[in-house]
Structure 1
Amino acid sequence: LSVILEAYLEKNALTYIHLSSETLELLNQNFQRVEIRKKDYLIHAGDKELYLYFIESGILRYWILDRHLQEITFAFAFAGEFANSYYSFCKDTKSEFDIQALTDCVIWKVNRNIIFDMFKTSLEINILARVVMENIFTKKIQREIELLKYTIEERYRILIIRDKNMLKEIPLKYLASYLGSTPQSLSRIRKKIF
């Protein structure tokens, strides 16, 4: 875990965060490596989130049923990112959404009680958690602005520049839902661009 966590810090320009060997060992001891098969769930809507996950490989899809019982994909998580139903995790409430594996995944997980205990005893883990949350919050704000400011085609062009992996690995129907489009409309946009 420590190697991929350090790669996460470097990828996100967080190299100013130094994790001591003791902290890395604490994380290694408490995170458990699990393999998740494509289409399996990390959490179902209505269940409480008991874990914090770090993705070593694979892609996760966050989705919810709208009032018409249609699946709406609202986020993805990729290798080298943290994932979970955060509100449920922090507030000990039921998750409002599902998290499902789009591909086979290797994930590291830690129980919420253990991570909360680590928060109490390790300043470095507290700093890491704060910076990770700042990073996630910044991405969320950026996505909300894009949803409000740009057309579907403009949002798709932004993804081409920013997230090429998303375009290669994610089925059209989920990508369309994420962009607020239909698969047919997104297919027309792709043909126009390419």
Structure 2
Amino acid sequence: MGHIREYYERIINLKESDWAYIASHFRKRVFAKGQAITRKGETEKYLSFIEEGMVRFYIPDEENELTFNFTFSREFTCAYDSFLTQTPSAYELQALSDTMIWSITYDDLQSVYANTQAGNYLGRFAAEQLYLAKSKRELSLLKYNATERYLQLFKEQPDIIRQIPLRYIASYIGITPQALSRIRRQIC
């Protein structure tokens, strides 16, 4: 759990007792490339920290899947709206590579919030970061064209983006794979 502690320590100095309490509520889970982490229609049970790997958020459809988010190593991930409301998810999370995560249940997270000041602060910080990422994504879709969205994505995640299939990237920026191929040819 070294990376999750490093993540927390960048935000707040943790007392050893707080870290021990928080860490005791996380459990390790491993997913193979392509495996579903959360399925559409299931209630999200876990807030997870990606130790290693990549996760795709998408809306499954028989004809066209719609990819709308990615999360990477050393980030939190989950179907957050489902997690908060404890209602079925309208989308799926899928491991894009072999992925190892540390997960905490909804009830255990509530216990961490109630019993540690650090946990409460970290929970608020994580929620704020998820909100900011969602807001940035929405503004990007409204403000920039597909080429600009692609270039921004490539700028923010250059090494990791190379590992994601182009069809998922195209869906994420709101275009067809063929249109993405044209954009890539134009900028190279």
* TMscore range, shorter length: over 0.9
Aligned-residue RMSD, C-alpha = 1.5
**Is there any run of 5+ residues in structure 1 with no aligned partner, and where?**
none
Normalised TM-score (structure 1): 0.91
Normalised TM-score (structure 2): 0.94
Contact 1:52–1:111 at 8 Å: present in 2 too?
Answer: yes
Q: How does 1:100-115 map to 2 (within 5 A)?
A: 100-115=94-109
**Is there any run of 5+ residues in structure 2 with no aligned partner, and where?**
none
- The alpha carbon displacement at 1:149 in A equals 0.6
Residues in 1 aligned to 2:58 and 2:143: alpha-carbon distance in whole angstroms: 22
Residues in 1 aligned to 2:29 and 2:132: alpha-carbon distance in whole angstroms: 28
> Residue 37 of structure 2 aligns with which residue?
42
> Residue 135 of structure 2 aligns with which residue?
141
Contact 2:4–2:51 at 8 Å: present in 1 too?
Answer: no
4+ aligned runs moved over 3 Å, structure 1? none
> Residue 32 of structure 1 aligns with which residue?
27
Letter paired with 1:185: A
Contact 2:36–2:93 at 8 Å: present in 1 too?
Answer: yes
Deviations 1:85-130 (A, max 9, x none): 1111111110111001010001111121111111111111010011
Letter paired with 1:86: Y
> Residue 51 of structure 1 aligns with which residue?
46
> Residue 3 of structure 2 aligns with which residue?
4
**1:80 maps to 2:74:** yes
- The alpha carbon displacement at 1:69 in A equals 4.5
Name which of 90, 103, 110 aligns with 1:96. Answer: 90
